[in-house]
């Protein structure tokens, strides 16, 4: 009886029959990760295989060694706080790779993401879902990525924003940050609300909403944060940032700008690469929408907005704000929207 899948040559080798007539097996030089197994799949196979054959002690020790080099798993806790879900919708619409590939496949060879908690996408609801978030934090201390979408209400200890209950009492979004942020490997602030407060923190801001960075300072939590702003965040910025962290670890200070964003996406202004730049150089300005010319007089915030929208564009490269004859509103910048108001007038 064969207990191996012959489609996986090189991983296991037969060393001849034993006294019981079964094939002894030894672990070859190739690692499990070269064949795309997840750690979970590998361990599940190993347990099933152990019931089918009598393995030697030396084989079992090699089995354990193989498990150690299996695919690395990264649990994600994606928490939506004071948000409109726009950033989730944007990221879900990623095309290359698709959201199915991001969640179910290895985003990079040897690196598997597991979206353990996302209140909009998961099937579970109520206590069952929030217990998943807490359990992930306990079991993967120091190894999970905490993703925050939306600003955090802080007025009166965050009573204006709650997620779930515990012992019959609501758990505030601020309390979730207290519980999950300290033990996270890193925090990704997805969208301008999460990064800087955004629309949720706009005047008069009765809830005292803040971006996650300011909340961490308030709570004296040192977990590193990478901001991925935008209203909404571009899916490429999110996927690229996650891939960057998995490949090379957390960015060093030189790779981030003063607003905590990766310079590879937010290193140059929209104005610097705008399709209307020639109009500005020629002194041709639009006085009303639909006219050819630079949109500066109609409130374009491109000169002081940093993002690669002119190159990357949106909806899989179909279009972007200025190409659709709308001015840039500066949605990736700290202070948006208050600092940029009125949006359709020149500052």
Same domain as 143, residue 216: yes
Shared domain check, 294 and 174:
no
61 shares its domain with 155: no
- Tell me how far apart the terminal alpha carbons of the chain are, to the nearest angstrom: 79
Q: What per-residue confidence (pLDDT) applies to 22?
A: 41
179 within some domain: yes
- Asked if residue 253 and residue 106 are part of one domain, the reply reads yes
* Separation of alpha carbons 145 and 148, rounded Å: 10
Same domain? 247 vs 306:
no
Picking from 266, 294, 312, the residue at the C-terminal end of a domain is: 266
Residue 41's φ and ψ, nearest 5 degrees, are: -65, -40
The owner of tokens 């939306």 is 150
Domain harbouring 108, CATH code:
3.40.50.700
Domain's final residue, options 248, 266, 284: 266
Chain centroid offset of residue 336 CA: 22
78 and 159 belong to one structural domain: yes
Tell me: do 166 and 178 sit in the same domain.
yes
Backbone φ and ψ for 311, nearest 5 degrees, come out as -90, -45
- Tell me, rounded to whole angstroms, the distance of Cα 152 from its chain centroid: 18
Residue 37 lies in a domain: yes
95 and 172 in a common domain? yes
In a domain, 189, yes or no: yes
State residue 105's pLDDT score: 73
Per-residue model confidence (pLDDT) at position 248: 87
Cβ(104)–Cβ(41) under 8 Å? no
216's CB contacts (< 8 A; 6+ apart) are 177, 181, 187, 222, 223, 225
Do 308 and 235 fall into the same domain? Answer: no
Q: What is the CATH number of the domain that holds 315?
A: 4.10.480.10
Does any domain span residue 59?
yes
Number of domains the chain contains: 3
Report yes or no: 99 and 109 within 8 Å, Cβ to Cβ: no
Query: In this structure, are residues 118 and 88 in contact, taking their beta carbons and an 8 Å threshold?
Result: yes
- Cross-strand bridge partners of residue 12: 27
**Residues with a known catalytic role:** 84, 87, 193, 231, 271, 274, 294, 300, 309, 321, 328, 331
Q: Is residue 5 part of a domain?
A: no
User: 43, 68, 93: which is the final residue of a domain?
Assistant: 68
pLDDT under 70: residue ranges of the chain: 1-71, 104, 107
Tokens read off for 193? 């609300």
* Structural domain for 212, as ranges: 72-266
Q: What is the pLDDT of residue 110?
A: 78
Determine contact, residues 149/143, Cβ cutoff 8 Å: no
Q: Do the domain assignments include residue 62?
A: yes
Are 29 and 55 found together in one domain? yes
Question: What pLDDT, on a 0 to 100 scale, did the predictor assign at position 8?
Answer: 37
User: Does residue 234 share a domain with residue 103?
Assistant: yes
Residue 69: what pLDDT? 53
- 257 φ, ψ to 5°? -85, -175
- The verdict on 299 and 333 lying in the same domain is yes
């Amino acid at each position: 009886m064969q207990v191996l899948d012959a489609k996986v040559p090189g991983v296991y080798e037969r060393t001849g029959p034993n006294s019981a007539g079964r094939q002894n097996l030894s672990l070859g030089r190739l690692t499990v990760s070269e064949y795309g197994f997840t750690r979970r799949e590998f361990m599940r196979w190993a347990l099933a295989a152990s019931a089918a054959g009598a393995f030697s002690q030396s084989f079992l020790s090699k089995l354990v060694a193989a498990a150690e080099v299996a695919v690395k798993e990264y649990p994600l806790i994606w928490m939506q706080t004071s948000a409109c879900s726009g950033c989730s919708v944007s990221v879900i619409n990623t095309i290359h790779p698709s959201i199915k590939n991001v969640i179910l496949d290895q985003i990079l060879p040897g690196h598997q993401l597991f979206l353990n908690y996302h209140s909009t996408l998961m099937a579970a609801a109520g206590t069952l879902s929030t217990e998943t978030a807490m359990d992930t934090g306990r079991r993967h201390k120091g190894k999970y990525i905490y993703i925050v979408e939306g600003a955090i209400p802080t007025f009166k200890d965050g009573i204006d924003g709650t997620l779930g209950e515990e012992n019959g009492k609501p758990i505030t979004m601020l309390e979730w940050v207290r519980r999950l942020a300290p033990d996270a490997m890193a925090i990704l602030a997805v969208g301008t609300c999460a990064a800087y407060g955004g629309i949720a923190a706009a005047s008069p801001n009765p809830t005292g909403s803040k971006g996650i960075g300011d909340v961490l300072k308030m709570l004296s939590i040192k977990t590193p944060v990478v901001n991925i702003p935008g209203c909404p965040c571009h899916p490429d910025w999110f996927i690229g940032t996650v891939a960057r962290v998995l490949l090379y670890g957390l960015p060093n200070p030189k790779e981030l700008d003063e607003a905590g964003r990766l310079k590879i996406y937010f290193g140059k202004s929209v104005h610097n690469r705008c399709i209307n730049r020639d109009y500005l150089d020629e002194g041709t300005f639009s006085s009303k929408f639909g006219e050819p010319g630079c949109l500066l007089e109609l409130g374009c915030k491109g000169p002081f907005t940093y993002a690669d929208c002119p190159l990357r564009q949106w909806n899989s490269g179909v279009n972007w704000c200025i190409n659709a004859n709308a001015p840039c509103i500066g949605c990736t910048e700290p202070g948006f929207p208050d600092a940029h108001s009125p949006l359709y007038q020149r500052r």
